[in-house]
Amino acid sequence: MKIIIINGPNLNLLGKREPAIYGGKTFESYFGDLQSKFEDLELEYYQSNIEGELIDKIQEVGFTYDGIILNAAAYTHTSVGLGDVVKAINTPVVEVHISNTHQREDFRHVSYISPGAKGVILGFGLQSYELAIRSFL
């Protein structure tokens, strides 16, 4: 089973960025933990700060992979293009957020991704990604 985790803008700063909200661990280190935990899966990780690159990657994998775990970060709340590509592909997308966006500012309560997503997992810290993987198994 081939699953890709796609992270959007500023998630390359995990470990340094607002640790009270996002924790103190880098995503690379957490991704290593996930790979050891799910050795039977083909797990991939991609991150970009650029909206069009995220759309290109989703188009590239969205007709052949078994699952996409997407944390579009700030673009979740702004991007019609990302919302559209999630609807355009065949591969199911699980939307993930580290923080509980509904406990935060009003602008974070809107998601352009959710209408096209298979499901949404948020608020469990980095563990949200593991729960998303398990949802595909």
Dmax over CA atoms of the chain, in Å, equals 40
Give yes or no for residue 111 binding ligand DQA (CB under 6 A). Answer: no
Residue 22 a catalytic site member: yes
Please say which residue, 57 or 97, places its beta carbon nearer to ligand DQA.
97
Give yes or no for residue 131 binding ligand DQA (CB under 6 A). Answer: no
Please say which residue, 69 or 85, places its beta carbon nearer to ligand DQA.
69
Query: Could you give the angle at the alpha carbon of 57 between the alpha carbons of 69 and 66, nearest 5°?
Result: 45
Contact 129, 3 (CB under 8 A): no
Give yes or no for residue 73 binding ligand DQA (CB under 6 A). Answer: yes
Helix (H) or strand (E) segment spanning residue 20:
helix 19-22
Write out the E strands in the chain.
Answer: 2-7, 42-47, 67-71, 93-97, 119-122
Give yes or no for residue 97 binding ligand DQA (CB under 6 A). Answer: yes
Taking CA atoms, 96 is separated from 58, 99, 127, in Å, by 15, 9, 10
- Min dist CB 26 to ligand DQA, Å, is 14
Residue 30 a catalytic site member: no
Identified binder of ligand DQA from the candidate list 12, 49, 78, 99, rule CB under 6 A: 99
Instruction: Summarize as ranges the residues that interact with ligand DQA (CB under 6 A).
Output: 10, 71, 73-74, 76, 97-99, 101, 108
